[in-house]
Amino acid sequence: MSAAGVALMLGGAGILLAASPAQAAEVSYRTECIPPPISGLPPVQGTTKVEITAPAEAKVGDEVEVVWKFVEAASKNPDIIDLEKDTVKPTGTLKAAGTQTADIAMEGPRTNPPIPKNSPMKLSDMKGKIKLTKAGEVTLTPDGYNINVSKPMSTDTKCTPKETVKSAATIKVSDGSGTSGGTTTSGGTTSGGTTTSGGTTTSGGTTTSGGTTTSGGTASGGGDGGQSDFPGKEVAVTFACKSPGPASINSKVTINAKKNGGSYDLVVKTAKGVMNSPAALPAGALKPSMAVLLGGVDKGTVPVTGPANKDPLEQGKPVDLPDMTGTYKPGASGKSTLSPGTLTIDVTLGGQKISIPCTGKGSAAVSLELDTSAQPGGASGGDSGGGTTSSGGTSTSGGLAQTGAEDNGALRALALVAGTVILLGGAVFTFTPWRRLRGIR
């Protein structure tokens, strides 16, 4: 077998040896990984362990293949979405130094087993080539790498060393008949992106709030003398979202009612342009819902839901949440109050759904007060405790209402959740979980 053309299989990766048997060496280094903005996850600090395989000896003029094997990635797949088989692709840079200097582009195939949420990332081996042009010793040192996840959307997680990395292999290059020249490198191009771990929360949308209104519009709903429409007052609310949502968002919400027999049809409106879309989302990907809080003589929540976005959402462009509707059937007679409650943003991409609940801080502000008459099967009344009324969507109890964001709101999580964030991503990541959304595939 010729020394220049033999392909050996080492650790599952083919190594083309130019002159001598291959050497394999492992190195570890502290690493910071930045998940896609859509994931809403913070940067992750971890340790990367890689094994670099290269020929121990070669001669000038040889083009040798080098293999980068991930013994351990710096972060796990976040607890957002499961990553499907063959959706993760790594790319990176291997630095050559010594008698010649070069950045060797490394690329691995998009092959991986299914990766459950909160489990170690499984990355394929990366390969690259370098043409040796000078005699002497050439050292090989791993540098930064990128993890691209293609589903439910394309996202990138970028990982960089946070300390000086030791060289992992050395090639002794002897004089030969090959011609010299500038260093030539070839290999994969970095692309795509995924989210593995960590993830940063990016800011964005603007929206904002006015002074908090503690009392809402009043209306006589029982013996009202024929009145049917009951407009509520706009109230300013502050809420916090669970990961991968933003930390804090200010918004305005109005709850309006229309009498329908003994019940009321509710319409919950939020501020326009409450946030900027953190990524490109297709039509039908985002859907809001809210649990309207009951007070006064009545208790419980009324679920209201809005339709999914009918048009694609552009990255960086303002997003209006649609009106959310539902039906309130009173469970008690007297003065009942309605206040914004927990807001949930659902993002569905590639058959996977990410839900981001956002709960109010402090006491809920009343948007509307109704003079109600108890109805059979209505919400729980008096001191009998909670309960949910029918229609509109899934009800969740919680604090103040929410929409819109000073820091670009709950959509950031999409990810993906689109990751992934779809949140709105890590993975999203990855990746979801919500183009962690750049470049929907």
Contact partners, residue 392, CB within 8 Å, separation at least 6: 266, 289, 302, 303, 304, 305, 324, 325, 326, 327
**What is the C-alpha to C-alpha distance for residues 95 and 65, in angstroms, rounded to an integer?**
14
Count Cβ neighbours within 10 Å for each residue of 242-267 and write b for 16 or more, e otherwise.
ebbbbeebbbbbbbbbebeeebbbbb
Residue 251: the pLDDT is: 78
pLDDT at 95: 95
Domain extents in the chain: 6-187, 217-407
Dihedral in degrees, nearest 10, Cα atoms 310, 315, 317, 318: 60
Contacts of 215 (CB under 8 A, 6+ apart): 233, 366, 369
| Nearest one of 269, 278, 276, 334 to 304, comparing CA atoms | 269
Residues in Cβ contact with 43 at an 8 Å cutoff, skipping those fewer than 6 apart? 32, 33, 34, 35, 198, 199, 200
- Which residues have a Cβ under 8 Å from the Cβ of 408 and sit 6 or more positions away? 202, 203, 204, 205, 206, 246, 275, 276, 278
- Print pLDDT tens along the chain (441 aa): 333 333 333 333 333 333 445 677 889 999 999 988 777 788 999 999 999 999 999 999 999 999 999 999 988 888 888 999 999 999 999 999 999 999 999 999 999 999 999 899 999 999 999 999 999 999 999 999 999 998 877 888 999 999 999 998 999 999 865 443 333 333 433 333 333 333 333 333 333 333 333 445 554 444 455 678 999 999 988 877 776 555 667 778 999 999 999 999 999 998 876 666 666 788 888 888 999 999 999 999 999 999 999 988 887 677 788 999 999 999 999 999 999 999 888 877 767 778 888 888 878 889 999 999 999 989 864 433 334 444 433 333 333 333 333 334 334 444 444 443 333 333 333 333 433 433 333
pLDDT of residue 94: 95
Strands (E), 73-215: 88-98, 102-107, 126-131, 136-149, 155-161, 169-174, 184-187
pLDDT of residue 246: 59
Diameter of the chain measured on Cα atoms: 104
Tell me the pTM: 0.46
Virtual torsion, Cα 228, 233, 234, 239, nearest 10 deg: -100
Please tell me the predicted confidence (pLDDT) of residue 139. 94
**Cβ contacts of residue 226 below 8 Å, gap of 6+?**
none
What is the SS3 assignment for 80? coil
